[in-house]
Amino acid sequence: SSGRATAAGALERAMDELLHRAVPAMPAYGLREKTPAPAENQCADFVSFYGGLAEAAERAELLGRLARGFGVDHGQVAEQSAAVLQLLQQPREAAVLLQAEDRLRYALVPRYRSLFHHISKLDGGVRFLVQLRADLLEAQALKLMEGPHVREMNGVLKSMFSEWFSSGFLNLERVTWRSPCEMLQKISEAEAVHPVKSWADMRRRVGPYRRCYFFSHCSTPGEPLIILHVALTSEIASSIQTIVVKESPASETEERDRITTAVLYSLSLTQQGLQGVELGAFLIKRVVKELQKEFPHLGTFASLSPIPGFTKWLLGLLKSKAKDHGRNELLTDSECKEISKITGGPVNETLKTFLSSSEWVQSEQLVRALQAPLMRLCAWYLYGEKHRGYALNPVANFHLQNGAVMWRINWMADVSPKGIMGSCGLMVNYRYVLEDTATNRTTYLSSKSIKASEQVLSLVAQFQKNSKL
Amino acid sequence: SSGRATAAGALERAMDELLHRAVPAMPAYGLREKTPAPAENQCADFVSFYGGLAEAAERAELLGRLARGFGVDHGQVAEQSAAVLQLLQQPREAAVLLQAEDRLRYALVPRYRSLFHHISKLDGGVRFLVQLRADLLEAQALKLMEGPHVREMNGVLKSMFSEWFSSGFLNLERVTWRSPCEMLQKISEAEAVHPVKSWADMRRRVGPYRRCYFFSHCSTPGEPLIILHVALTSEIASSIQTIVVKESPASETEERDRITTAVLYSLSLTQQGLQGVELGAFLIKRVVKELQKEFPHLGTFASLSPIPGFTKWLLGLLKSKAKDHGRNELLTDSECKEISKITGGPVNETLKTFLSSSEWVQSEQLVRALQAPLMRLCAWYLYGEKHRGYALNPVANFHLQNGAVMWRINWMADVSPKGIMGSCGLMVNYRYVLEDTATNRTTYLSSKSIKASEQVLSLVAQFQKNSKL
Amino acid sequence: SSGRATAAGALERAMDELLHRAVPAMPAYGLREKTPAPAENQCADFVSFYGGLAEAAERAELLGRLARGFGVDHGQVAEQSAAVLQLLQQPREAAVLLQAEDRLRYALVPRYRSLFHHISKLDGGVRFLVQLRADLLEAQALKLMEGPHVREMNGVLKSMFSEWFSSGFLNLERVTWRSPCEMLQKISEAEAVHPVKSWADMRRRVGPYRRCYFFSHCSTPGEPLIILHVALTSEIASSIQTIVVKESPASETEERDRITTAVLYSLSLTQQGLQGVELGAFLIKRVVKELQKEFPHLGTFASLSPIPGFTKWLLGLLKSKAKDHGRNELLTDSECKEISKITGGPVNETLKTFLSSSEWVQSEQLVRALQAPLMRLCAWYLYGEKHRGYALNPVANFHLQNGAVMWRINWMADVSPKGIMGSCGLMVNYRYVLEDTATNRTTYLSSKSIKASEQVLSLVAQFQKNSKL
Amino acid sequence: SSGRATAAGALERAMDELLHRAVPAMPAYGLREKTPAPAENQCADFVSFYGGLAEAAERAELLGRLARGFGVDHGQVAEQSAAVLQLLQQPREAAVLLQAEDRLRYALVPRYRSLFHHISKLDGGVRFLVQLRADLLEAQALKLMEGPHVREMNGVLKSMFSEWFSSGFLNLERVTWRSPCEMLQKISEAEAVHPVKSWADMRRRVGPYRRCYFFSHCSTPGEPLIILHVALTSEIASSIQTIVVKESPASETEERDRITTAVLYSLSLTQQGLQGVELGAFLIKRVVKELQKEFPHLGTFASLSPIPGFTKWLLGLLKSKAKDHGRNELLTDSECKEISKITGGPVNETLKTFLSSSEWVQSEQLVRALQAPLMRLCAWYLYGEKHRGYALNPVANFHLQNGAVMWRINWMADVSPKGIMGSCGLMVNYRYVLEDTATNRTTYLSSKSIKASEQVLSLVAQFQKNSKL
């Protein structure tokens, strides 16, 4: 293990050496436009060194060193801040003040930003940086790295990506069965929400009454960044199984008259490094426009969305309630009685056991007995549970931020094991009433109040009447 | 005229009203990620208002108001600077300092940057901003607007463009006679250095032994941003007329063995709004790579460049010398004598008259008599005349910054009227010795010393011996 | 000249030698499917030998030798005819008869057909054959070659082309300003009816309110075989100058509501070797369909056609009349008087002189005086002059065969020198009333009767009343 | 059943009515160029009527009626034959004779050819005719239709296809994983020789060290007519399982130096209607050229081919031998003894039983014992068994006609059930020595002698020594 320590020491020294070699020095303000760009191989060195690190922890270590050791020069910031402050106190001509502010602005740029900027110019450089940020986010999630410097670096990358992946540079592409196999394979592998089972399944999802779109960056056409699947139907779908597993349609030709509704049933980001770059909302907007062009009479737009975290939240509740009171306050007495009758055990324990597997759906009686309580609990979870004032459930928060209405909670909407385990088979529609989305969006973001349909509000009311938290 | 004043007043009021409506407010730091983007039509309003201003002066007025009225909030800057300073004086944990710096960074962003950012997301938005900056540069040149705020706005736009037009997002496209007519028309109209005279001329420039490349942004393929014309030859060309006006080649097929040299004979930026965004140097690099791929044995790369400003500089010299001493110290006595013999008048006056038109090239005697003095004067102009330490001549400065060598000054190299009038028919080759360009570039940028060939240095020495400034 | 004769003799010997080498032998009927194809270079030899013949006369000589020396083996035909005849007289089973007929069919195939068939498989082979037939047609026209064998060879080629250039294998392509320059150059050079004067003129013809389509063979996309130019207007145009020389349209955008009429104003075959292969009629049909798809409300289709040969026919008439009677019977007395008054000379001579140049259009008086007689003479020329019962004028015959109606003769419709010289400035519209074309076509082809409008019939009646042939 | 007869009668009447309506009348010779084409819907009627016939027998009935009722007018043929004969007996000028021959040629064209010609001009018409011929061939194979008229019609279609699918009109396309899914699905479904098991299998066949090419007609790009699969190896493969089922290659990048040999391992015609149109030989030629361009040092070309019919032929032999003599003369005494020892039964019966299933490969002993006799029997089957003098085995005949050498018979080369059942696991390489193929081809076609390697000849000699037929 001393050998191991030595090896680690050697790696760390190699990292420091690399960083000193690869990160360009910050030229003096006056020379910033006359300083030649670093040689290409200087930045390429960083890329290949990083690529050679097999372990997530090693990569995290390198990024941490970069973030901490090559950030802002606080001494410079102090000096320039003081200069600005002085000028503001003794007013001088604007030119002097504006230049002082520009010097300050320059001092506030972390030194590693310049490394990223130069990497972005290499072949495949932008892709590398997106992957780097994905690593960084994963390392944060795994607690491999922490701290304000890392958060700052994340912010710098995100803001660079916001410029590069601006909507003006995104191409909307449609996927069909005539698209390259390679592309369909990517689409299939990227499908995170409702996994693709076979090529026949994939073919169905790009066939008649279906649309599959993605955004690619204009510099890498054909490479999906974020993907949206849509079903064209005659009403807002209440079950994912009618969309993704139903047999082939009777005809390859769409009867345009029967298409009145677009159900957005899956949205997958393929590059985790692009989290927070607002691609999803833009993609929905663009696809809505595209569909309106293709089907001028299409009027209804809604998602059919999963409710990730619902079962977990519910199990947590059941556990804490159990500890607190020894009895279940989430269900009414009659509900408790009925469940006991079916299962023959104490409600709380029984429920915890049941919700931990997907077998309960096999029992018609249980399914019937659980519908009312789970529906109202789910409504509360979506509508009432908050994080910093906004909806706790991330999918809900996403659609509400886009201006959608929380429209309808659907029972037995996803009966796949994943659906039953993750959210008791429940799914929810968020509806986009196009003329209201701007208002909804502003209301939600400013006052944090959620616009919901009568069904949802009525379920919430039932929860408030019958359950206690 | 009071009516006119009223109209002007009305326009100014309309401008202020527009700006208050269109420029998004700066959200508080804490809300910056939760604030909905402004409605699309808010920014579109600005675009259409601006587009409706027919006069350059009106556009300049609007931009000036935007720059002055919607820039940085100096109060905020003062407050955040003070906070940062205080933290730096009483060290606290890094998280607090980094956040304070981030607040300061945020306060230093001019409010109009957000307008530009949102415009960039509109269809055609980036193009609009490039044109806006072109207007801004032109207005500065025409003194329609001045001042530090305008310079700051120019800097903001340039830095945004540097991200958007980063080399990773540029596509190299080759133009041939099979390219769309529309594209060839654009190429033809954009040719600023050696104007295209006819479609046959254009066809020649994209035909055998010629290459024409351009960069387009990946979001607008087919739209040239900057264009480079190359002639494939067996030696470094010393005359532009052998390249652009010679009759059609004997054969449509290139004899690859005869191609040893690439002469870059024209580089034109089509969008003035992209000045300073480093497209030219990148384009030369990419084209050199492309040509090396096509012709692995191609070894010599050089420009054949104009010398804009030489005649003007020389006329200026002649005038000032005339005032100072009444006699010409730029020429030797024997040169003066010979010229007097030919023209029969006082050398200084004669020269001023001659250089103001292009007729002198008709006289073989004069052409012979002027060769030696004009060659050495030109060498000095290119090599010895400086601006802030760098070459005064902008074309020279460009190629030297790219790491080229000042290679050869060519007599009677451009005998078109434009060539004779602009630079006494002289042109110059800058040679790119690929293995040296990185070193040359750094040397020039850091020590400002110019690498030149023996021919150039010898002409400079002759100047120093025979002419007095 | 004996040297010359020797040279000619050598060439002829070389031709014979080539033909014996290159033209595949005719395998015996039983072996026809088991005989290997000739080596590729055997046929390629013919192609390169032919390509090396610089003189039309030499090429004609070679084709003549091929036609006469490598046609049908009459002995074989006799033998197989006799066998068939005998079988028909003494009925045997069908299998025997059908095979005998197949042998006879095989005997009737000229030997050179096999050469053509194999050439068609070479790269560029079909193109070569099309050019070969163009040479053959030109040589016939120039009387460089004559006789039944050559006519037979022409028929063989035409029938092969009819299979290869069948409408199923033709692609309709539209030309715009975004099409390759190379293609627009071809289109421009091919324009036989109203020559293109400049690139601006060309741009106009592919710009707004204009359409330019062509057929290419699917094996050579982008290569125009036959080209149709269309103007989109609000009424049937009566003058070509409003179509091809008018300045640019006010706007680049078409007002779709103003487009009610498609005027087909130019149809050019680019490959003379494809004469008689029915491309023109197909192209008009396809373009009409295409336009109906783009403009569902477009209802009127008409050509604006030249009247080649009218002036020549008229001059011929004037000469023969002059010889016969010494006076002009084509004009009425009052017409003669008026013309004499204007020109001051004998009508017949004056007219001959005037019609031989284009100056008469400068005189307003003459233009007025000649309108009535030339209009009715032209109507007669188009309607009354026949060749084997069909319209003598080839353009008229073409449109009538397609089912068009002879619609309107237009005075001062083409005032270009070519238009004045060729047809006294007259042009004619043939109108396609889509629901009637099939009937019109059958009527014209079977009963040879021409469907014409009242204007045309009334002019014909005036001719019959006032002029004598 | 009288109802059924009536229905059949009604269908037959409908057929006759259709044919009289749809098949264009044959215009008189003199009018053949002046007769308008039949209306489009006249031919389209035939297409839709035919398409509506669900039963193969019904389609065969219609085609039979067309072939018998609308063929050649024998009376006309008699008349024109007589005319030609007379002219040939009393020589007149060539023009008269040639025209008489042309009339005769015209009389020999079956009337239905004109129907086919016009159908070919409809959208999808050529495809329809190819399918029609596929039906016709199938109906002949199933004895649903017979007779000389049907054979004649087949010949007419084949000769039309020979013109339309001439190599000048075929595009070579390469299939990769970037090709459209739709295309890969077609390729996969068309693979007749070694069925594709999964998408991973398909991906392997278009991945590194593999090539997949097809011909499409230029009018229907992307639609495979005939497909060739190639493996790029370092030696002539002796087993198909090394090619189609091996796991993924170590790397996605091909090491070009290791590629010396191209093994053509599958050739599939997708349209049975194109049988006999010589696509296969052309495709091999084109692919060889293509590979030589990509890999200039690639020197060895060979097929790895199935031996369809071998087991069946062998079983037939065993049966007839059994009948004749009661003992096996195909094997030597020692071979018989060894097999008896292993199986414990009479050799002949045992063999028949074993060869009827694929289980024998499970026994190592049997595999060893059978190798020598099956190899020599197979060599004889391929080399010695003939049909009209040419190789009986159709795959052998195909490659020998193309000029290949019968190169190597491989034991245990296809151990899939299909391979074992069809040809006892044997496969054969036909090698293309490019400089010899032309000679080989001519030799085979003219003298019917097969060029084979020493291995094959030695096996044949062993057969002649040890087996008796």
B172 and B202 fall within a common domain:
yes
Cross-chain CB nearest to A445 (options B36, B82, B125): B36
The confidence score (pLDDT) of residue C420 equals 93
Higher-pLDDT residue of A133 and A194 is A133
Instruction: Give the mean model confidence (pLDDT) for residues D36-65.
Output: 91
B320 and B430 fall within a common domain:
yes
Q: Tell whether B174 is within 8 A of chain C (Cβ).
A: no
Subunit contact C203:B184, Cβ cutoff 8 A: no
Higher-pLDDT residue of B246 and C65 is C65
Query: Are the C-beta atoms of residues A253 and A267 closer than 8 Å to each other?
Result: no
D379 and D458 fall within a common domain:
yes
For B117-130, what is each residue's pLDDT tens digit?
999 988 899 999 99
pLDDT at A73 over 70: yes
pLDDT at C326 over 60: no
The confidence score (pLDDT) of residue B194 equals 87
Subunit contact D177:A177, Cβ cutoff 8 A: no
Q: What order do you get walking across the sheet with A300-303 strand by strand?
A: A170-175, A210-217, A226-233, A261-269, A300-303, A427-432, A405-410
Q: Tell whether C7 is within 8 A of chain D (Cβ).
A: no
Q: Residue A88 falls within a domain, yes or no?
A: no
pLDDT at C327 over 80: no
A22 and A123 fall within a common domain:
yes
Instruction: Give the mean model confidence (pLDDT) for residues A139-145.
Output: 92
Instruction: Give the mean model confidence (pLDDT) for residues A418-446.
Output: 93
Reported for C75-80, long-range contacts at CB under 8 A and 24+ positions apart, including other chains, are C76/C107, C77/C104, C77/C107, C77/C108, C77/D84, C77/D88, C77/D101, C77/D104, C78/D84, C78/D85, C78/D88, C79/C107, C80/C104, C80/C106, C80/C107
- Residue D421: which CATH number? 3.40.630.150
The confidence score (pLDDT) of residue B160 equals 94
The length of chain A, given as a count of residues: 469
Residues 6+ apart with CB under 8 A from B213: B172, B173, B174, B175, B227, B228, B230, B283, B286, B287, B290
Q: Residue B39 falls within a domain, yes or no?
A: yes
Chain D neighbors of C85, CB-CB under 8 A: 78, 81-82, 85
C117 and C251 fall within a common domain:
no
For B374-421, what is each residue's pLDDT tens digit?
999 999 999 999 998 999 999 999 999 999 999 999 999 999 989 999
Q: How far apart are CA D111 and CA D32, in angstroms?
A: 13
Instruction: Give the mean model confidence (pLDDT) for residues A34-47.
Output: 84
A42 secondary structure, DSSP code: H
Query: Are the C-beta atoms of residues A185 and A95 closer than 8 Å to each other?
Result: no
pLDDT at D1 over 60: no
Q: Residue D207 falls within a domain, yes or no?
A: yes
Beta-strand ranges (E) seen in A152-208 are: 170-175
A139 and A24 fall within a common domain:
yes
Chain D neighbors of C397, CB-CB under 8 A: none
Q: Tell whether A252 is within 8 A of chain D (Cβ).
A: no
The confidence score (pLDDT) of residue B325 equals 54
Q: How far apart are CA C24 and CA C37, in angstroms?
A: 9
pLDDT at C39 over 80: no
Chain B neighbors of C179, CB-CB under 8 A: 180-181
B216 is catalytic: no
Angle at D6 between CA D4 and CA D8, to 5 degrees: 70
B9 and B145 fall within a common domain:
yes
Residues 6+ apart with CB under 8 A from A8: none
Q: Tell whether D178 is within 8 A of chain A (Cβ).
A: yes
Pair type for strands D261-269 and D300-303: parallel
Host domain of residue C143: 2-72+109-164
The confidence score (pLDDT) of residue A322 equals 62
Active site (catalytic) residues of D: 305, 399
Categorize the per-residue pLDDT at D404 as very low, low, confident or very high, splitting at 50, 70 and 90.
Answer: very high
Q: Residue A77 falls within a domain, yes or no?
A: no
Q: How far apart are CA B1 and CA B11, in angstroms?
A: 15
Nearest alpha carbon to residue B429 among B290, B243, B301, B289: B301
Q: Tell whether D25 is within 8 A of chain C (Cβ).
A: no
Q: Tell whether D200 is within 8 A of chain A (Cβ).
A: no
Q: How far apart are CA D430 and CA C230, in angstroms?
A: 58
Q: Residue A98 falls within a domain, yes or no?
A: no
From D404's Cα to the closest Cα of chain C, the distance in A is 14
C290 and C372 fall within a common domain:
no
| Percent of chain C whose pLDDT exceeds 90 | 68
B152 and B30 fall within a common domain:
yes
pLDDT at D2 over 70: no
Active site (catalytic) residues of C: 305, 399
Higher-pLDDT residue of A35 and A177 is A177
Q: Residue A91 falls within a domain, yes or no?
A: no
Picking from D286, D303, D320, the residue at the C-terminal end of a domain is D303
Q: Tell whether D182 is within 8 A of chain A (Cβ).
A: yes
pLDDT at B39 over 80: no
DSSP per-residue string spanning A68-83: HHSS--HHHHHHHHHH
Chain D neighbors of A177, CB-CB under 8 A: 180-182, 185
Looking at C220-363, list the stretches that DSSP marks H as alpha helix, in order from N- to C-terminal side. 241-244, 279-294, 310-325, 333-343, 347-355
Q: Residue B235 falls within a domain, yes or no?
A: yes
Between A348-357, D16-25, D58-67, the lowest mean confidence (pLDDT) is in A348-357
From B222's Cα to the closest Cα of chain C, the distance in A is 10
The confidence score (pLDDT) of residue D112 equals 96
pLDDT at C459 over 90: yes
Picking from D267, D282, D303, the residue at the C-terminal end of a domain is D303
Categorize the per-residue pLDDT at D351 as very low, low, confident or very high, splitting at 50, 70 and 90.
Answer: confident
Instruction: Give the mean model confidence (pLDDT) for residues D138-146.
Output: 92
Residue C233 dihedral angles phi and psi, to the nearest 5°: -135, -175
A305 is catalytic: yes
3-state helix, strand, coil in chain C (%, to 5): 55, 10, 30
pLDDT at A239 over 80: yes
The confidence score (pLDDT) of residue C252 equals 78
The confidence score (pLDDT) of residue A1 equals 55
Interior/surface letters A341-360, b for 16+ CB within 10 angstroms, e for the rest:
ebbeebbbebbeebbeebeb
Between B234-238, B354-358, C180-184, the lowest mean confidence (pLDDT) is in B354-358
Tell me the sheet residues that pair with D231: D210, D263
The confidence score (pLDDT) of residue D8 equals 77
Higher-pLDDT residue of A23 and D319 is A23
Angle at A53 between CA A49 and CA A56, to 5 degrees: 135
pLDDT at D4 over 60: yes
Residue D307 to residues D426, D428, D437, Cα–Cα distance (Å):
7, 7, 21
A16 and A154 fall within a common domain:
yes
Categorize the per-residue pLDDT at D247 as very low, low, confident or very high, splitting at 50, 70 and 90.
Answer: low
Higher-pLDDT residue of B249 and A351 is A351
- Residue C28: which CATH number? 1.20.140.90
C316 and C455 fall within a common domain:
yes
The confidence score (pLDDT) of residue D246 equals 61
Subunit contact B152:A72, Cβ cutoff 8 A: no
C174 and C299 fall within a common domain:
yes
For B141-176, what is each residue's pLDDT tens digit?
999 988 999 999 999 999 999 999 988 899 999 999
Subunit contact A105:B102, Cβ cutoff 8 A: no
Picking from C118, C138, C164, the residue at the C-terminal end of a domain is C164
For A101-124, what is each residue's pLDDT tens digit?
999 999 999 999 999 999 998 889
Categorize the per-residue pLDDT at D322 as very low, low, confident or very high, splitting at 50, 70 and 90.
Answer: low
Instruction: Name residue, tokens 């017979």.
Output: D146
CB pairs under 8 A between C and D: 129
Interior/surface letters C62-98, b for 16+ CB within 10 angstroms, e for the rest:
bbbbbbbebbbbbebbbbbbbbbbebbeeeeeeeebb
For D187-223, what is each residue's pLDDT tens digit?
999 998 888 888 888 999 999 999 999 999 999 999 9
Instruction: Give the mean model confidence (pLDDT) for residues A366-390.
Output: 94
pLDDT at C5 over 90: no
Domain count of chain C? Answer: 3
Tokens of D123: 């959208």
pLDDT at B3 over 60: yes
Subunit contact C179:B184, Cβ cutoff 8 A: no
Subunits with 3+ C-beta pairs closer than 8 A to A = B, D
Between A131-140, B230-239, D310-319, D355-364, the lowest mean confidence (pLDDT) is in D355-364
Query: Are the C-beta atoms of residues A405 and A433 closer than 8 Å to each other?
Result: yes
The confidence score (pLDDT) of residue A7 equals 77
Angle at B203 between CA B198 and CA B207, to 5 degrees: 155
Q: Tell whether C441 is within 8 A of chain D (Cβ).
A: yes
Residues 6+ apart with CB under 8 A from A444: A390, A400, A401, A403, A450, A451
pLDDT at A40 over 80: no
Q: Residue B79 falls within a domain, yes or no?
A: no
Between A88-102, C127-141, D64-78, the lowest mean confidence (pLDDT) is in A88-102
